[in-house]
Amino acid sequence: MFSKACEYAIKAMIFISSRTEEKCVSLKDIAKGTNSPEAFTAKTLQKLSRTDILNSIKGPNGGFFLSKPTSEIMLSEIVIAIDGNEIFTGCALGLSECSETKPCPVHDKFKGIKEDLIAMCYNTSLAETSQKLADGTVFLKNDN
């Protein structure tokens, strides 16, 4: 459903939010903690750093840190920063025009899925996801 970049961004932000006791979290730790390629994670985090949800510090002791409390960062902000608003507003088949009056072949079936996705992304904060990670009820990577 999300692009690969968006998946990495969401995982990275959840990981960073779970490490709030640290001033900043290094790229190496984020990539390792999410089992994501370091170079691709770096590009994704740079994109997020251009928003108001993530900051970075350069240098040997640098890294990334959240610019506002985890309870104020919703998954929708991450998705929009990486993939734009298209997943929430666009057609399931990528048609430029798709509406109630001029629907695509899957419009009616996809409408409910899209509404559920919008609700999940706009109503799920990093605080909620990082708490589940801290509780051990969810995970970000497969241990091989």
pTM for this entry: 0.89
- Computed on alpha carbons and rounded to an integer, the radius of gyration of the chain in Å comes to 17
- CATH class, 4-135 region: mainly alpha
One pLDDT digit (tens) per residue for the chain, 144 residues: 789 999 999 999 999 998 877 789 999 999 999 999 999 999 999 999 999 899 999 888 889 999 999 999 999 999 999 999 999 999 999 999 999 999 999 999 999 999 999 999 999 999 999 888 888 888 887 765
Per-residue pLDDT tens for 117-138? 999 999 999 999 988 888 888 8
